Structure 1
Amino acid sequence: MSLLPTNATAAERALEEAMLAKIDLSKVGRSWDPATCPAQDLPFLAWGLAISHWDTTWTEAEKRAAVAGAIPFHQIKGTRAAVEQVLARFHPLLSIVEWWETSPAREPHTFEVRANSLEIPVDFLTPETADAIIRDVAAAKPLRAHFDFVQSLEAQAKIYMAAGGMAGSLHRADYHAEHDTSRDWSLVLQTEDGEPILTEDGADYLETA
């Protein structure tokens, strides 16, 4: 028989049931600490902290580190720093070029995530890795910003000619090639706040039929 008043909250009733069942509530606090949470409960803690990306193949240490960094990441989410942090997790040479950093300038509130093929090994950027980068950047970027993922091949050549100790001429040739494999984000379902909606297993985003 419950001793709670009729206007008791659901949380109060759940607490009463736990006490009647003689559940050790002292362990609850440990479950919210990424350092002491039981390993099998880490996915639930990650869900409770709204981690945008979770990989079941991570080691236990990597899972605990991801959970521990959840709140600091949420504090910068929606900024360039958050996107740079996401990219650094994949490869240190992935870069961001915002609309005002291009010549000529692009549309406001747009940016590119660039992977230079001369610096990043071709075997690194598999279709699966590219999809993961796009997914995590989409979750970290400002809501109003749109971006393209660009795998580029850039080369520069300089030729110097001189005679009699006098500078002759300088020729510079710039080559730039892009292969755009960006996902069509117009098909991805979003929440009212503009956040892309993950599938039930968290491996991809839901798309319109």
Structure 2
Amino acid sequence: MTSLLPPNSTAAEIALEQALLVRVDLSRVAALKNPFACQADVLPFLGWELAISHWDTTWTVAEKRAAVAGAVAFHKRKGTRAAVEEVLARFHPLLSVVEWWQMDPVGVPHTFEVRAPALEIGAEFLTAETAESIIRDVAAAKPLRSHFDFVQSLEAQATLFMAAGGLAGGTHRADYQAQHDASRDWSLVLQTEIGEPVLTEDGLDYLETH
């Protein structure tokens, strides 16, 4: 191909022109950001770029692709109860969130518990390593101002009495109590988008649905 450079072009300019004339296949570059089209060894870098806090190297390739594809949407939900529940569902469907106003007795505002029913979730699943992973991922997804305990609970079938042992971060807590809060029906209390009860104007009670 005839050069478009003038006769007094430098060697560097001529070399640059020749490099630009090389036909380079860039089709694979377009796929690097596509989690469903990129090579599997690229996925960890995409996970790092998207700040996926719950990345697990033992996942299958399909699971890694799904995590990358859903990362942006998950970041939009972070800091909400829904994000915490989504994290728990990845570990076990019976893990649940109990917020401070749902506790018996009512707990400290802006705290919650992650509860694992001991009868349904056996010790073979809930190892120390798994508990640490749950705590780590919940800490990354929860509202910034909230604090939580990880509690393995034993609930009676016919009553609301409960015995529980808890783990908050790396500190072990064992609480045993039998109390029954019949003061109100908490299912009737209005809640905000992040699951907290709505106070009345005077701040002395909670708004209810009727």
Same fold (TM over 0.5): yes
Write the distance in 2 (CA, Å) between the matches of 1:92 and 1:179: 20
Instruction: Please name the residue that 1:57 is paired with.
Output: 58
How far did residue 184 of structure 1 move? 4.2
Write the distance in 2 (CA, Å) between the matches of 1:153 and 1:44: 42
Partner deviation per Cα, 1:120-155 (whole Å, 9 max, x = no partner): 122110001100000000000010010000011122
List aligned pairs for 1:21-60, cutoff 5 A: 24-60=25-61
Instruction: Please name the residue that 1:13 is paired with.
Output: none
> Judging changes above 3 Å, is the alpha-carbon distance between structure 1 residues 70 and 19 closer, same or farther for their aligned structure 2 residues?
farther
Instruction: Please name the residue that 2:71 is paired with.
Output: 70
Write the distance in 1 (CA, Å) between the matches of 2:154 and 2:45: 42
More displaced 10-residue stretch of structure 1: 176-185 or 72-81 = 176-185
Q: Is the 8 A contact 1:156 1:175 kept in 2?
A: no
Q: Which amino acid aligns with 1:182?
A: A
Partner deviation per Cα, 1:98-129 (whole Å, 9 max, x = no partner): 01112332111100000010121221100011
Write the distance in 2 (CA, Å) between the matches of 1:84 and 1:117: 18
List aligned pairs for 1:21-170, cutoff 5 A: 24-157=25-158
Write the distance in 2 (CA, Å) between the matches of 1:73 and 1:23: 36
Q: Which amino acid aligns with 2:150?
A: F
Partner deviation per Cα, 1:159-195 (whole Å, 9 max, x = no partner): xxxxxxxxxxxxx6x642222222248xxxxxxxxxx
> Judging changes above 3 Å, is the alpha-carbon distance between structure 1 residues 23 and 107 closer, same or farther for their aligned structure 2 residues?
farther
Structure 1, unaligned runs of 5 or more: 4-17, 158-171, 186-209
Identity of aligned residues (%): 65
1:178 is the counterpart of 2:179: no
Write the distance in 1 (CA, Å) between the matches of 2:42 and 2:20: 21
> Judging changes above 3 Å, is the alpha-carbon distance between structure 1 residues 184 and 27 closer, same or farther for their aligned structure 2 residues?
same
Partner deviation per Cα, 1:11-32 (whole Å, 9 max, x = no partner): xxxxxxx969976444222110
Number of matched residues?
Answer: 156
Q: Tell me the TM-score normalised to structure 2 length.
A: 0.67
Structure 2, unaligned runs of 5 or more: 1-11, 172-210
How far did residue 2 of structure 1 move? 7.5
RMSD: 2.4
Q: Which amino acid aligns with 1:150?
A: V
Q: Which amino acid aligns with 1:63?
A: K
Write the distance in 2 (CA, Å) between the matches of 1:142 and 1:79: 6
The structure with the greater share of residues assigned to strand is: 1
